[in-house]
Amino acid sequence: MSTPVPAAKDSSAPGPAATQPAPFNPHHFPGDLIAAQRMVAELFARLHAHQAALPWSREKHKGWPDETERGRERPGRPATPGWEPDEAAEYDRLFAALRDATAVVQGHPWWERCEQEGVKGAALVAARMALKHAEGAVPLARDDVEEAA
């Protein structure tokens, strides 16, 4: 009686040791997209801080008093000198930079790839929202603030 000879393995057929590519993960963002989102967050913070230091109206305004009408109260506004030309120019510069940076994030090829991979609707919205909290996309994380304090 002869010993059976093992059959030759077909090298083109996937075996147990063959590695399958990992499924597409829409939350595995490319580095340039994370950097662009970080730029958006930084510009938004700078614009918000600049705006908070400005008078309430861009133009000079005499304001208005508090009003109460039939039990409803409307808070008034004090007079304002308006913004100085350099303050307005800085606001406009920051706002334009924020708008441009946001266009880079929104028009990034990653979102097209997500749609090609079948990520659509609520899943695509979830991926876009996740980008805002991705590692490296936020200038300061809560742990950073606690360490600095």
Q: Specify the long-range contacts of residues 138-145, CB closer than 8 Å, at least 24 apart.
A: 138/38, 138/41, 139/38, 139/41, 139/42, 139/45
| pLDDT value for 18 | 61
Q: Specify the long-range contacts of residues 144-149, CB closer than 8 Å, at least 24 apart.
A: none
Q: In whole angstroms, what is the distance from residue 34 CA to residue 2 CA?
A: 64
* Range in 16-30, 51-65, 82-96 the model is least confident about: 16-30
- The larger pLDDT score, comparing residue 6 to residue 103, is at 103
Q: Specify the long-range contacts of residues 69-77, CB closer than 8 Å, at least 24 apart.
A: none
Decide if pLDDT at 147 tops 70.
no
Query: What is the residue whose two structure tokens read 């490319």?
Result: 30
Percent share of the chain, pLDDT over 90:
64
Q: The pTM is what? A: 0.73
| pLDDT value for 15 | 53
| pLDDT value for 1 | 52
**pLDDT tier, 149 (very low <50, low <70, confident <90, very high otherwise):** very low
**pLDDT tier, 82 (very low <50, low <70, confident <90, very high otherwise):** very high
Percent share of the chain, pLDDT over 70:
81
Say how many residues make up the chain.
Answer: 149
Decide if pLDDT at 103 tops 50.
yes
- pLDDT tens digits, one per residue of 108-134: 999 999 999 999 999 999 999 999 999
* Nearest to 79, CA basis, from 49, 99, 59, 104: 59
Alpha helices in 53-121 (DSSP H): 85-106, 109-116
Q: Give the H/E segment covering residue 51.
A: helix 31-52
Please answer whether residues 127 and 113 qualify as being in contact, where contact means their C-beta atoms are separated by less than 8 angstroms. Answer: no
The domain spans of the chain are: 31-55+87-148
